[in-house]
């Protein structure tokens, strides 16, 4: 599985192990054109034999959908043209905040936090999905 934290400027990526129990940060794509972003995703899908995508879905704290949800849904629809893989939109509320808090507790500099936050958020999103599947 590949986890995605899709932002306007970057896409954080995370992988899980073959047993689908542990998510690990992979990389951060600096967004340019959708076709280039999708091509990089396609390369990673092939390289890591990915079986599905878990895409962070930025719901509002009250559970409603805001404008960013529409953007992520459209991203997923566009991505369907590049890969036949199953995709799941996963509630990502609090993911970036939780990751930021963890990095602050680890006393990482602002530059280090900025460098890692997106792929760590993707890992957090994917791990939430894996945990739900394991403990249902």
- The reported pTM is 0.87
Q: What angle do CA 14, 54, 58 make, to 5 degrees?
A: 100
* Digit-coded pLDDT (tens) for 32-42: 999 999 999 99
Using alpha carbons, select from 131, 132, 1, 6 the residue that is nearest to residue 14: 1
Q: Using CA atoms in the order 72, 123, 53, 1, what is the torsion angle rounded to 10 degrees?
A: 180
Domain 2-135 has CATH 3.30.420.140: yes
* Digit-coded pLDDT (tens) for 1-24: 999 999 999 999 999 999 999 999
């Amino acid at each position: 599985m590949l986890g995605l934290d899709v932002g306007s400027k970057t896409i954080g990526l995370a992988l899980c192990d073959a047993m689908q129990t542990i998510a690990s940060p992979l990389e951060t794509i600096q967004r340019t054109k959708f076709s280039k972003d999708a091509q990089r995703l396609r390369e990673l899908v092939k390289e890591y034999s990915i079986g599905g995508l878990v895409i962070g879905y930025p719901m509002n704290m009250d559970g409603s959908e805001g404008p960013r949800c529409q953007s992520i849904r459209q991203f997923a629809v566009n991505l369907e043209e590049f890969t036949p893989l199953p995709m799941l939109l996963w509630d990502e509320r609090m993911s970036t905040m939780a990751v930021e808090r963890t990095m602050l507790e680890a006393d990482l500099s602002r530059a280090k936090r900025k460098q890692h936050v997106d792929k760590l958020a993707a890992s957090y999103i994917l791990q939430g999905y894996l945990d739900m599947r394991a403990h249902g």
